[in-house]
Amino acid sequence: MQRTYKDELKFIERIDDHTLRIKKGFVPNMNVEGRVYANKTLEGLVYKELRTCSEKNGRGGFLPAVKQIANVASLPGIVGYSIGLPDIHSGYGFAIGNMAAFDISDPLSIVSPGGVGFDINCGIRLLRTNLTYKDIEPVKEQLAQKIYDHIPVGMGCKGMIPVNDKSLEEVLEMGMDWSIREGYSWAEDKEHCEEYGRMFTADSRLVSDKAKKRGLLQLGTLGSGNHYAEIQIVDEIYDEKAASQMGLDRLGQVCVMIHSGSRGLGH
């Protein structure tokens, strides 16, 4: 029998300002309890997922993150708690931001190469601009349309950057040096990228031909799911020193944030 949202809440309690406890019994066969590190603001997002699922009687969409955390708590060999970090949200199996440790001396313990799903090594980039909201406000509709025109989105979308087998291998091995050579970025951008935008141990031969074939037409695409390209505005500064170091110290400053993954290449 499907529990009501009110009944579900009986299994979750706040134990301090930053931690929620998920009690055993929230889902069957939990071996340990769950812990979610979330303040009151994040708590609201966690509960919103749970409420939506309860109202739909568990049908359709992902399980709420707290349910997924509880399911992980039922896996054999788990020790301590099934833990949800502050970025917690629904995933494929594990919740995104769900952590768990397993006793390697227990012969029943699991090893999972894809607990939260696939193509999970997404990247996020914030690009600051010298523009302000006043600069773009009159043309924001046109700007949004330009983004849609030039950044393919959606499942199975094809890219606008032409590559062949050889150039795709160069992309994999050269990283940002390839994009600089081809005119898609500036050399100084490397100063703000992990490993300066290139892993020198990268070997494209280790990527299967099947994966390369899937990714051949998807360079420069955004994909689907929770991937996005957004025009954002600095509307509040919490840490003035950090903001100044990143050049994000002006209210009303326009930034571009991109979140995407490796698409079919890394699926």
Q: State the binding site for Mn(2+).
A: 119, 227, 259
Q: Which long-range contacts (CB under 8 A, 24 or more apart) does 13-22 make?
A: 14/43, 20/46, 20/66, 20/84, 22/66, 22/69, 22/70, 22/73, 22/82
Annotated binding site for GMP: 226-230
Q: With H, G, I as helix, E, B as strand and everything else as coil, classify residue 25.
A: coil
Annotated binding site: 119, 226-230, 259
DSSP output for 145-205: HHHHHHS-BSTT---SS---HHHHHHHHHHTHHHHHHTTSS-GGGGGGSGGGG--TT--GG
Where does 192-251 have alpha helices with state H?
209-215, 240-245
Residues present in the chain in total: 267
Place of tokens 């019994």: 25
The first and second tokens of residue 250, run together, are 């002006």
